[in-house]
Amino acid sequence: MGAKDRNVPAERREEFGIGSVWTWVALDADTKLCCSWMVGDRSAKAAYDFMKDLAPRIANRIQLTTDGHTVYVNAVEAAFGAEIDYAMLVKIYGGDRQEEARYSPADFISCRAVDITGKPDAKHISTSYVESQNLTLRMCMRRFTRLTNGFSKKLENHIAAVSLHFMYYNFARIHQTLRVTPAMAAGVTDRLWEISDIVALLDAREKERKQTKQEWGLSNKGPALGF
């Protein structure tokens, strides 16, 4: 975001929102519903915040699979405790490819499943669905296209665009294998949403914001509040 890593000025390399920025995604394998997402870095704190957001959204005990990013272990424990069946799928890749193929992914060698908490069912330990969703995200949003200058330039705009993508993906885009939207498959809604329904949410939120601001302006004698 803002610049490729190699072009980030030295004085801004510790600044979040320029250079590499990551999108964390939790996906339900059955309904393909994106339960939670977050734009952040790859730190332990980001993993903690992400899992803390995910846990209250889930009503029942689940089986969770993450990749081998080690910060997940403590984050999952902090958010779910022992009330989860959790496994980590660690994938092993070969070394760097030759110069002419440096933009291609490294060769996949093998993977191993590691049980972390509870009793995860081995046949359901997989990250394939969320990896497929990653491809969907890249195909649907120009700012995620590799090797171009179409990436986001401002953090606020990037977060807003990702928000809009997942709203459309969950509620308005019919999933090919489900024949309904993920939100319908999950029972979150009983109808297919249109773009106009999503726009109406923005209009309603703006109306609510203005009404709240007016109410505070009439009743609050202190300093003006920002909304």
121: closest CA among 61, 57, 37, 33?
61
| CA–CA distances in Å: residue 14 to residues 2, 18, 134 | 13, 9, 26
Q: Tell me the domain boundaries of the chain.
A: 5-153
**8 A C-beta contact, residue 57 and residue 81:** no
- Tell me the mean pLDDT per 10 residues along the chain, length 227: 90 92 96 97 96 96 96 97 96 67 70 95 96 93 88 94 96 95 97 95 89 72 45
Tell me the pairing of strands 85-93 and 108-117: antiparallel
- The tokens of 16 are what? 């979040």
User: What phi-psi label fits residue 147: left (phi over 0), alpha (psi between -120 and 50 degrees) or beta?
Assistant: left
Per-residue confidence (pLDDT) for residue 182, from 0 to 100: 98
Rounded-to-integer distance, Cα 32 and Cα 141, Å: 18
The H or E element spanning position 212 is helix 195-219
Reduced to 3 states (helix: H, G, I; strand: E, B; else coil), residue 39 is: strand
Instruction: Fill in the DSSP letter of residue 125.
Output: -
Q: What is the pTM of this model?
A: 0.84
Rounded-to-integer distance, Cα 48 and Cα 4, Å: 27
Reduced to 3 states (helix: H, G, I; strand: E, B; else coil), residue 199 is: helix
Reduced to 3 states (helix: H, G, I; strand: E, B; else coil), residue 29 is: coil
**Which residues are CB-contacts of 24 (< 8 A; sequence separation ≥ 6)?**
36, 37, 38, 39, 40, 46, 47, 50
Per-residue confidence (pLDDT) for residue 64, from 0 to 100: 98
Per-residue confidence (pLDDT) for residue 106, from 0 to 100: 74
